[in-house]
Amino acid sequence: MWINKEIIGWFTSLKTTAEQHAAVSVVALQGLQEELIKVRTERDMLQKELQVQQINSDWLRIKVNAMEVERAGLIQKAYGITLPVPEIAKKVMPEITDDKQFSFSDIGEDLARQLGYPSYDEKK
């Protein structure tokens, strides 16, 4: 059976092009894998750093609260004055779900009060 040289050349060029594209794809995939490794490493590092910062923040909050209690106790002993003790409390914000995307638009007075923000409603 005789096959035209042009058809053989066409198949050969298709094979060559496919091999070139495969090589480019392999290089691109390797680059993406390396970038993914870097991003995951950075993410893990930032997660650990955030954990350390949260621990330091909690420690500082506890120390400041203890000093405020101690200060109020010393003033009461020294001068006989009972003072209210301010306390720094850790407030956990509600999570933003998929249907509630973050935006800078007005959240409304009711939600602002619920979240503990000051209300500027003139109807009060």
Q: What is the pTM of this model?
A: 0.53
User: Binning pLDDT at 50, 70 and 90, where does residue 123 land?
Assistant: low
**Predicted confidence (pLDDT) at residue 65 exceeds the cutoff of 60:** yes
Collapsing DSSP to helix, strand or coil, 74 comes out as helix
Establish if 120 belongs to a structural domain. Answer: no
Q: Which two tokens stand for residue 86?
A: 């301010």
pLDDT reading at 57 higher than 90:
yes
Has residue 121 been placed in a domain? no
- What pLDDT does 100 receive? 59
Torsion of CA 77, 83, 88, 92, to 10 degrees: 130
Can you give the length of the chain in residues? 124
Does 52 reside within a domain? yes
Q: Is 24 contained in some domain? A: yes
Residue 81 resides in a domain: yes
pLDDT the model gives residue 116 = 80
Residue 11 to residue 5: CA distance in whole angstroms: 10
Domain assignment of residue 83, given as a range:
5-115
Provide the number of structural domains found in the chain: 1
Per-residue pLDDT band at 7 (split at 50, 70, 90): confident
- Does 54 fall in a domain? yes
Please indicate, yes or no, if residue 31 is contained in any of the structural domains: yes
Query: Is residue 97 scored above 80 in pLDDT?
Result: no
